[in-house]
Structure 1
Amino acid sequence: MSRKNTRRGRKNKQTVNTSNTEYDTNNTDCNSDNTEQLPHNPEMGDVSAFTFGDPEPVLDGHFNDYAGVFLDHNGEYYQPPVSLQGLARLLRANAYHGPILEFKTNVVMRGFEGSEVLKRRVMYAAATDYNVFLNCYFQRIRNGFGETVDVRHLPAINMRKLKEPGRYGMLNRRGQLIKFRLGEVVHIKNYDVNQTIYGVPWYLGAIQSMLLNEDATLFRRKYYLNGAHVGYIFYSSSAGLSGDDQKSIKQAIKGSRGLGNFRNMFLHIPNGREKDIQILPVGDFSTKDELEKIKNISRDDIIAAHRQPAALAAVLPSGNSNFGDISKVDPIYEKNEIIPIREQLETINDWLPEWGRVSFSSPLLES
């Protein structure tokens, strides 16, 4: 390719920055309807057709494809590699993701032993942030001697790492940046291989399944509210239908829509032929268990992404199977998944006086 063509290709390529993630819109035209106008025939009237069926990803772009983080346009702080607001909205996308994270937080806080410096409610909020964002922040309140006498929680969704090493800021509702002093904020995060500024959740690989589960639920709800049908085309080629007849049929069809509106329609066309009126279904809903399969598969993906046993995720066993003794599953889950999270949170003790340190106990493993 010549240098001239390369420059032209770069000029035609557009990127849209949405939720701190770049999406390539080079080959996507959101305003086009893919409609193809067929050759005009005066005897048949205007006929048009359109193509459909191309793959349409929920998140059009490389959601996880980033190389580190970058300074904001004002040059004061680093933007998170993933939209924190988007991660917060995902908590309510389906019936599993949010409750699993809440359950994990409750298990983490089981056996927490606080102190006068770090209260239980502060650690609970920090543990919630850590499970959702893999980031949590504490504000140290120090006395005149530099000793930490109180610890407060800072919401991770609003926290940003400043350009200056070791300094952090918090965005208020107006988008204004509140800067903290050096050493005032303690940031606990996981390690990300692409950058070392923020932590990144490992469950990002299950985002498609989370949204697919939501889409399946919304489709079933719309299907139910639409009178238990996907939709159809009322096709007529009869020359005996006048304009008034067509309006009457349209009004009757509109009146039959909605939940509980199951109505029969009588239609008489003088000298009509057999196929003057046809009902053509639009969607294929022949397999009644299709939505159930989608929800089950996406549910399994979500549970697997959180590494939580199905017995602890309020999932009913299928058929005549069972999950065995749940009392044996809980200690293994706590040992493999919960204790590493507690150990991360306990690193706050490095900034606390000896008399104000916190700890976690594990009664199930100690017994």
Structure 2
Amino acid sequence: MDKPRINVKSGETPNYTAMSDVFSFGDPEPCLDNRLTDYTGVFADSNGIYAPPVSLHGLVKLLRVNAQHGPILGFKRNMILKWFKPNSVLSNEAFKKFAYDYLWSGNAYLQIIKNPFGQIIRLRHLPALTMRYTTERGVYAQLSNNYLEPIHFKAGEILHVKEYDPAQGIYGIPEYYGGIQSALLNEDATLFRRRYYKNGAHMGFIFSMADPNLSTDDEAKLKDAIKDSKGVGNFRSLFFNFRSNKADAEKSIKITPVGDISTKDEFERIKKITLNDMLSMHRAQEALSGQSSGDSPGFGDLDKITRAYYNNEVVPLQQTMAGINRYLPSHLHIAFDIPEYSDLYPNKDKAA
């Protein structure tokens, strides 16, 4: 910063002219700098492969965007997996990946492996991130690394379970798609808060003086004392000495705290609102999924909540997963155990 201008006349003491310094913190940035919610439609490329209508790589990154979105999807996967009954062709590990792909991308794939006699011996999981549908009827392809040619599968070799999208029938769209902006806003609020504390562009207090007789050495010692004071690592403090000849002795030293209440309240409000949005977009019970919005003092009756969640959410997801049974012989059908508290429990009436 430039030094103050000094106007000196014969027989007069120096007169320090007041100056102002204006600056800004960085360049402006767009608020909506992501394109995760752009629906591009489904189009085939030169290789005859249909591109998904939304960015699958973007949806993968979204899994780690905050502390709620990814863990809630993991909780829903665990609820589906909890009652799954592994069989000779579909292992627990393969079904775990299969169910999770369906939840985060709206698409899940299994490859049918047969022996030389045409019998199904294994259902192999294929990651939804790299699987694509081709312009050839019933044929899927898997994208490979190192810019190699995609791996094409035989017609009918791939089982594809997808969430319904009324705009097109090739790929599924995850149910939480409409809540992506809330998840991103939650992340933006956290990142803004972190940058706020790390970039040093905030102050704890302003130490101002109006003492024209303060020596340069004493002023330097005072600045060093402020810098070395406890807590300076968390907040930046500003020292300012206005050398005025009309200084008031009672007001020569003034400490002005710099408040942060409004910013804090806005941060907490955004975090709470976006958390409620994410619980809504996933239809997740906070008592079961490990999330808390803070709106209620307790979680309520966990047994009733678990029973209602199982009947209304887990069972429909299990039925969707079991859609692959249409393409499997009856002795290889996947199945799920039924808890006693379920409305589907066969001996419920007798037990009552």
TM-score, scaled to structure 1: 0.71
> Could you tell me whether the CA contact under 8 Å between 1:67 and 1:194 is conserved in 2?
no
**Equivalent in 264, 269, 285 of residue 293 of structure 1:** 269
Task: For 1:272 and 1:314, locate their aligned partners in 2 and report how far apart those are by CA, in whole Å.
Answer: 64
**Equivalent in 286, 294, 316 of residue 310 of structure 1:** 286
Task: For 2:272 and 2:41, locate their aligned partners in 1 and report how far apart those are by CA, in whole Å.
Answer: 35
Change (3 A) 1:319 1:143: closer
**Equivalent in 44, 53, 78 of residue 81 of structure 1:** 53
> Could you tell me whether the CA contact under 8 Å between 1:143 and 1:149 is conserved in 2?
yes
Tell me the CA shift for residue 287 of structure 1: 4.8
Task: For 2:258 and 2:43, locate their aligned partners in 1 and report how far apart those are by CA, in whole Å.
Answer: 47
Task: Indicate the residue corresponding to 2:194 in structure 1.
Answer: 221
Task: For 1:273 and 1:312, locate their aligned partners in 2 and report how far apart those are by CA, in whole Å.
Answer: 67
Tell me the CA shift for residue 147 of structure 1: 2.5
Task: For 2:170 and 2:224, locate their aligned partners in 1 and report how far apart those are by CA, in whole Å.
Answer: 61
**Matched position secondary structure for 1:157:** coil
> Could you tell me whether the CA contact under 8 Å between 1:133 and 1:156 is conserved in 2?
yes
2:185 is the counterpart of 1:212 = yes
Aligned amino acid, residue 353 of structure 1: P
2:42 is the counterpart of 1:69 = yes
Task: For 1:180 and 1:265, locate their aligned partners in 2 and report how far apart those are by CA, in whole Å.
Answer: 67
**Matched position secondary structure for 1:140:** strand
Task: For 1:186 and 1:287, locate their aligned partners in 2 and report how far apart those are by CA, in whole Å.
Answer: 51
Task: For 1:273 and 1:322, locate their aligned partners in 2 and report how far apart those are by CA, in whole Å.
Answer: 62
CA RMSD, Structure 1 to Structure 2 (Å): 4.2
Task: Indicate the residue corresponding to 2:122 in structure 1.
Answer: 150
Following superposition of structure 1 onto structure 2, how do residues 214-363 of structure 1 map, counting pairs within 5 Å?
A: 214-226=187-199, 230=202, 260=233, 267-268=240-241, 270-271=243-244, 286-316=262-292, 318=294, 321-363=297-339
Task: For 1:313 and 1:183, locate their aligned partners in 2 and report how far apart those are by CA, in whole Å.
Answer: 37
Superposed CA offset, 1:154-193 (max 9, x none): 0000101111111011112224311111111111101101
Q: Structure 1: any 5+ residue segments left out of the alignment?
A: 1-44, 235-239, 241-248
Q: Structure 2: any 5+ residue segments left out of the alignment?
A: 1-18, 207-211, 213-221, 248-253
Tell me the CA shift for residue 81 of structure 1: 0.6
2:165 is the counterpart of 1:192 = yes
Tell me the CA shift for residue 323 of structure 1: 2.9
Following superposition of structure 1 onto structure 2, how do residues 69-218 of structure 1 map, counting pairs within 5 Å?
A: 69-72=42-45, 74-176=46-148, 177-218=150-191
Change (3 A) 1:179 1:269: same
Task: For 2:244 and 2:164, locate their aligned partners in 1 and report how far apart those are by CA, in whole Å.
Answer: 77
Task: Indicate the residue corresponding to 2:32 in structure 1.
Answer: 58
Tell me the CA shift for residue 142 of structure 1: 1.2
Tell me the CA shift for residue 91 of structure 1: 0.7
> Could you tell me whether the CA contact under 8 Å between 1:255 and 1:261 is conserved in 2?
no
Task: Indicate the residue corresponding to 2:215 in structure 1.
Answer: none
Tell me the CA shift for residue 316 of structure 1: 3.6
Superposed CA offset, 1:85-109 (max 9, x none): 1101111101100000000000001
Task: For 1:133 and 1:319, locate their aligned partners in 2 and report how far apart those are by CA, in whole Å.
Answer: 30
Task: Indicate the residue corresponding to 1:24 in structure 2.
Answer: none
Change (3 A) 1:259 1:174: farther
State how many pairs are aligned: 319
**Matched position secondary structure for 2:166:** coil
> Could you tell me whether the CA contact under 8 Å between 2:40 and 2:54 is conserved in 1?
no
**Identity in percent:** 43
Aligned amino acid, residue 321 of structure 2: L
Tell me the CA shift for residue 360 of structure 1: 1.1
Tell me the CA shift for residue 197 of structure 1: 0.6
Structure 1 stretch 316-325 or stretch 291-300: which is displaced more? 316-325
